[in-house]
Amino acid sequence: MRYHNMMSFFSNCVLFFLLLLFFNCNESSLERKKNILGVNQKLLSRESYIFNNFRLNTPKDWILVNPKDSINLVFLSPLDSSMMLINVTTKFDPKGFSKPQYAEFTNNGISFKQNVYQNSIAVVFDVKIKKNNDSLSLYFAVPNKQMNDNLFKIESSLGSISLD
């Protein structure tokens, strides 16, 4: 019973995040919000990185583990093994995960397409970013148990993205 309640809680957190994005994306006024993603600078690294003309900050204290690879970059959290993969050439295999929850939104003039996959072990955010001819792919993989600790870090990291 306790496991079921925890899974329900994590599912509700992910659903809340997606609904928040959905309601912010569907604002009907002519003056659409420029930034719908919250950015908490305290949750982000001080150093920003540039990938495919996009500038972004990683979650605070996440470490670049393969600095010599200039194409596929991996950042890991030393606290809970959460990871951020940038421009990974291998496509995510959704076997063993629930049907994805999909969202499209614009933040700071940049288009985002996001699929969120979940199973009993992890939550994976598969995010495609595009503006004009520039594009970037990101994956965030977070253990279910640490989802609440990482949700606002992921949102802040995504919200920090700008075209350089």
Domain carrying residue 149: 2-163
pLDDT, tens digit (0-9, with 9 covering 90-100), for 111-154: 999 999 999 999 999 999 999 999 999 999 999 999 988 999 99
| pLDDT score recorded for residue 125 | 95
Coil vs helix vs strand at 37: coil
| pLDDT score recorded for residue 30 | 34
Q: What is the DSSP letter of 87?
A: S
Question: How many domains, the chain?
Answer: 1
Distance CA 36, CA 70 (A): 30
Q: What's the one-letter identity of residue 105?
A: F
pLDDT, tens digit (0-9, with 9 covering 90-100), for 66-91: 888 767 889 999 999 999 998 766 77
Instruction: Compute the mean pLDDT over every residue in the chain, rounded to the nearest whole number.
Output: 82
Distance CA 45, CA 26 (A): 30
List b or e across 107-126, with b for residues whose CB sees 16 or more CB atoms inside 10 angstroms: bbebebebbbbbeeebbbbb
Calculate mean pLDDT across residues 89-101. Answer: 85
Distance CA 104, CA 106 (A): 7
Q: What is the CATH number of the domain that holds 38?
A: 3.40.1000
